[in-house]
Chain A
C-alpha cells in the first residue's frame, strides 16, 4: 500500500510565553490524507486549526515550536526542515490559500507581478511564457477578463476575485497539497459557493489534496471527504464527513452541531449552556431596564422610513450624472416589540440603512425617516438630539474595536448615560454591575479592561451598553458575525432572552439567513440598494417569492440534519 500524501502523527506544538514557559497549542494531533482527497479541520477560534496548517508549511512564528510527533509529506518528515528546505517545498509541493484574500495579496504590487513571481519561483517558465501561463491559470480559476486583471492592484478587485487569484497562485506549480485556511470566511454566501466550487474543481482536475481549515460545518459538508474536529488543541473526533456530521460520537461535536443555526427551522433556544442565575443584582438590572423600555405598545409603528435613497458621489466624476446608488427608494416600518431582519450580501446597502437611521449619513433629498411619528430631520435641537440618541442604540459588528480600550467594562457600559445625565456617577457603578449580570457576566467583570475579555464577552458588554440607555429601538449590525458558532449561539440566546423579558424592538442586520431566521419576526431582503422582498420571516425564508431570495437560500452551505 502506498503511503498517504500527508501523514501527521501525534503532533504537539507549544508556544513560548513571555515569561519563558511553554503553552501547549496542539497536543497529539494525527491526520492522514490520501492523494486527491479533501479533509477538513474544524473547531472554534483558538482551537489551533491554523497552527497545524502553518506547521505543515513551516510558517509558524519564532515563538512556536514542534515539541513532538511528525509531519510526513510523501514519507519524508518535514518537522526538522530548515527554512531553506521549507522554501524549496513551499509553492512547489504545498500551496497555501489564506483566510482573507484582501490581506493575502500585497497592496502595492500588481496582480500580474504577484502571480508571475510565484510562477517564476516554482516552475521553469520565464518572461512571456510565465505571463501566458499566468493568464491561463487565472482562466482556470474562473477569473473573468483574465488578461486585464494582471495590471490591476488588489484593492481594485472584489474579495471573491482576489481569492480566485490566490487560488491561481496556489496551483501555479501544480502542488500535491493545498492548505486552505478559512478560504471563504470573508466572502458573501453566493460568492462563497462559487469560489468553493472552483476550488473543488481545481483539486479534482489536478489531483491536488486539500487540507481545509474552517469553522463552518456547512463548508465541510459541501467540500470534504473526511473531517477532524479540534477542540483546545486536541483531536476530538475524526472520520468520514457524513458520519461526523450525521452521527457525531463525541459530546463536543454534538454541541458544535447544536450551535449551528439553520434557515430551515426556527428554534426557541440553542442547546447550549446559559449562565443566568437569578441574583438580586440581575433582578434589579432587569427592573431598571423594564421601567424605562416602554413595553405594552406592541404593534404601534416606532420607526417609519419612506423613500430612502442614498447616492455616494463617484470620486473625480464631477459633471457626470454618475455616482454610486447605495440605497434606492427603501421604505419600511418597524413596529414596537418586533425584530425586523435586514439581509443581503455585502454592498447591498443594509448597513447604509442603519447609518441613515442613526444619522451618520445624510440621505438624498425626498427621504423621510420618522421616529415615533416625528421626522428625525426636524430633530435638530440639542435636547431632541440627546433624546433621539437615547432612544436609538446600536450593537456593533466588531466586539474588539467597539469598546473603548482605555476604560474598564463598567465605565464602557455607563459613560454614555452618565454623560447624558440619565444616571448619576454614583448610581452608575452599581448599575453597570447589575447590567453585567443581566447579560450573563459576573459583577466583578466591571473592573476589568476590554482586552481581558473574549470576543463573546465583549459583545455581551456591548449589549449591556446599548441596554443601559433603555432605548426604544436597538440597531444590531451583524452582532455575531465576528464570533464563533458556539459563542454566536450563546449571544443569540441572550438576545432572545432579553427580547422576551424586556419586549425590545430590534432591527437586526445580517448576511446570515440562518441567524435572521432564528431571531426575526419579519425580514427585508436587500440587493444592490433595493428592497427585493419583504414579509414574515418564516415565509420569506422558507417559501420565498423572489428568485434572488431563492438564490441566496440555495447558496447557503447546508448540513443535512437528521431531524430537519
Chain B
C-alpha cells in the first residue's frame, strides 16, 4: 500500500519550531561576527585613530601614550577581541560629541523613530493590502486604473520633495498639522511616546504619512500581483467549487497565500526604515535615530556611527528572524521541510 506508507514517511512532522529558531539564531550569530569584523576593520585598520585624536602638534611620545591608553599598541587580533568583548558586555564606547555612552544616546532617540515607522508600516499594510486585493480581483474596473496610476506616482515621488509638499499643504496652507519637531510625550514603561496623546499624535502624522505613501504603494503592488497569481491557481477554483463563502475565499484561501511575500518584504522594509529614515527625520526635524546618525556623520562622532552600524545589523538579523518565523507559520511547506 504505497499510499499508507507515504503517510508514515512524513511522520516526522514534529521537526519543531524551536529547532528552526535555534538553527536560525546560530546562523545569525555567525552573521553578527562577520559584521563586527567589518566594522572593526573600518574603524581601526583603514584609518589611524591615534592620528585623528592626537592632533598635528603631538609628539611621538604623546602618540605612544595615547595608543597605549586606548590599547592600540596591542596586536590586531587582541585589539579585535577586546573590541568584541566590550560589545558583548554592552559597552559600545562614548560619544566624542556628547561625552555620554553611545548606547544610552541611541536608545533615548529610538522610541521617536519606532513610533513613526510602526505607524507608517501599519497604515501601509492596512491600506495597501485591501487596495491590492481589490485591484487584483477587478482588473478591468475603473478604480483599479486609478489605484494603478496612484501607486506608480506615489512610488516615484522623491521622498524629500513629497515631505516638503506635505508641509506646504498641511502646515502652511491648511494650518492643520505642525510642520516639524516632536510634540508632547506620554510616559509608558518609562519611555516617552507621543502617539499616545492627541496633541503628540498631530506631530507624528506628517512624518508617518511621508513614510507611509511609498509603503502603501509597495503593499498594493505586492498584494495585487499576489492576488492575480493566486486567483488562477487550481485550488482557488476548487475552493469556489466547494461552495464556501466569498469572504472565506478571499480572507483565508487568498490572503494566506499572498501574505507570504508581503511578510518578507515588510520585514526588510521595517529594518530599512528604522535604521535609515534619515531624510524624513531631517525634513521634519524629528528627533529620531536617523537624524542622530546624520548628525554624527557630520561631526565625525565615530563611536556613535560604529555602534549604530552594529545595532542596525543586529536589528536586521532579528527582524529577519521574526519574518522567517512568521513565514514558517504561514507556509507549512517551509515549516515541515
A interface residues with partner B (beta carbon < 8 Å): 57, 59, 87-92, 95-96, 98-100, 103-110, 114, 117-118, 121-122, 144-145, 148-149, 151-153, 155-158, 160-161, 166, 169, 173, 188, 190-191, 194, 315-317, 324, 345, 347
Could you pull out 30 A-B pairs where Cβ atoms are within 8 angstroms? A87-B240, A87-B246, A90-B241, A90-B243, A91-B243, A96-B238, A99-B234, A103-B233, A103-B235, A104-B238, A105-B235, A106-B236, A106-B253, A107-B331, A108-B257, A108-B331, A108-B332, A109-B252, A117-B244, A121-B243, A121-B245, A144-B1, A144-B4, A144-B7, A153-B336, A156-B336, A157-B6, A158-B7, A191-B3, A194-B3
Determine if A91 and B234 form an interchain contact, defined as CB atoms under 8 angstroms apart. Answer: no
Determine if A103 and B234 form an interchain contact, defined as CB atoms under 8 angstroms apart. Answer: yes
Q: Which of B3, B15, B237 contacts A316 (CB 8 A)?
A: B15
Given A109-B256, A156-B10, A156-B13, also A144-B3 (CB < 8 A): yes
Determine if B10 and A98 form an interchain contact, defined as CB atoms under 8 angstroms apart. Answer: no
Residues of B within 8 A of A145 (CB): 4, 7
- Number of residue pairs A-B, CB distance < 8 angstroms: 123
Nearest 3 A/B pairs, CB to CB: A91-B243, A96-B241, A158-B6
Given A98-B234, A109-B253, also A59-B4 (CB < 8 A): no
Q: Which of B1, B15, B235, B337 contacts A107 (CB 8 A)?
A: B235
Interface centre among B1, B239, B248, B333 (most CB of A within 10 A): B239
Q: Which of A110, A148, A169, A194 contacts B242 (CB 8 A)?
A: A169
Determine if A59 and B240 form an interchain contact, defined as CB atoms under 8 angstroms apart. Answer: yes
B67 lies within 8 A of chain A by Cβ: no
B interface residues with partner A (beta carbon < 8 Å): 1-4, 6-7, 9-10, 12-13, 15, 19, 233-246, 248, 252-253, 256-257, 260, 330-333, 336-337
Q: Which of B13, B19, B242 contacts A96 (CB 8 A)?
A: B242
CA distance A509 to B154 in the complex (A): 55
CA distance A121 to B15 in the complex (A): 33
CA distance A181 to B233 in the complex (A): 16
Residues of B within 8 A of A149 (CB): 7
Interface centre among B15, B235, B245, B252 (most CB of A within 10 A): B235
Given A98-B238, A156-B336, also A108-B330 (CB < 8 A): yes
* CB closest chain-B residue, reference A100: B234
Given A95-B241, A122-B242, A158-B7, 4 other A-B residues pairs in contact with their CB atoms under 8 A: A90-B242, A96-B242, A98-B241, A117-B252
Residues of B within 8 A of A109 (CB): 252-253, 256
CA distance A89 to B2 in the complex (A): 36
CA distance A191 to B1 in the complex (A): 9
CB distance from A403 to the nearest CB of B (A): 23
CB distance from A308 to the nearest CB of B (A): 22
CB distance from B124 to the nearest CB of A (A): 23
Determine if A92 and B252 form an interchain contact, defined as CB atoms under 8 angstroms apart. Answer: no
Determine if A345 and B332 form an interchain contact, defined as CB atoms under 8 angstroms apart. Answer: no
Determine if A160 and B3 form an interchain contact, defined as CB atoms under 8 angstroms apart. Answer: yes
Residues of A within 8 A of B246 (CB): 87
CB distance from A102 to the nearest CB of B (A): 9
Residues of A within 8 A of B256 (CB): 106, 108-109
